[in-house]
Amino acid sequence: MKSELEKRIFEIVKERSKEGGVIQSELWSILGVDNREGSKAVLSLVRKGLIRREQVVYKGRKTYRLIYSPEVREKLSLKVNLNPVMEIPCFTCRELYRCGLGYYNPYKCNLLSRYISLNAESGGS
């Protein structure tokens, strides 16, 4: 997330997820920001898929209910969790195409063994 305001909005929306989200106009009061500044940050979060908004009528006025999007968060964390895979030494190894066919052997490779033991210790993350 880019700005501090976006982070604060995201945390509040996430906290209120059990209540079905938060009314946008209430959010401005909580944060002490004006509609223009707050809307810009909310739209940025919506574009990133971190929250979604639904139009509602609240106290007789049209506004939005901001809702946490855990399904998008899961997709994002999946993307992040793929990064350690790219650190496997075989992906950048010059011997990849002849590994296991003679001199180079994955069962005895120091680079691969070190990678596996480091990731086993850290739980793979």
Binding site for ligand SF4 (CB under 6 A): 89-90, 93, 95-96, 99, 104, 106, 109, 111-112
Our CB check for ligand SF4 shows the closer of 43 and 90 to be 90
Of 17 and 115, which CB lies nearer to ligand SF4 in the complex structure? 115
Q: Which residue's CB is nearer to ligand SF4, number 59 or number 108? A: 108
Q: Which is nearer to ligand SF4, 31 or 111 (CB)?
A: 111
Per residue, what are the HEC states of the chain?
Answer: CCCHHHHHHHHHHHHHHHHCCEEHHHHHHHHCCCHHHHHHHHHHHHHCCCEEEEEEEECCEEEEEEEECHHHHHHHHHHHHCHHHHCCHHHHCCCHHHCCCCCCCCCCCHHHHHHHHHHHHHCCC
CB of 103 to ligand SF4, least distance (A): 9
Q: How far is the CB of 121 from ligand SF4 (least distance, A)?
A: 19
Give the C-alpha separation, 56 to 7, whole Å: 24
Least distance in angstroms from the C-beta of 125 to ligand SF4: 21
Provide the minimum distance between the beta carbon of 68 and ligand SF4 in the complex, in angstroms, as a whole number: 41
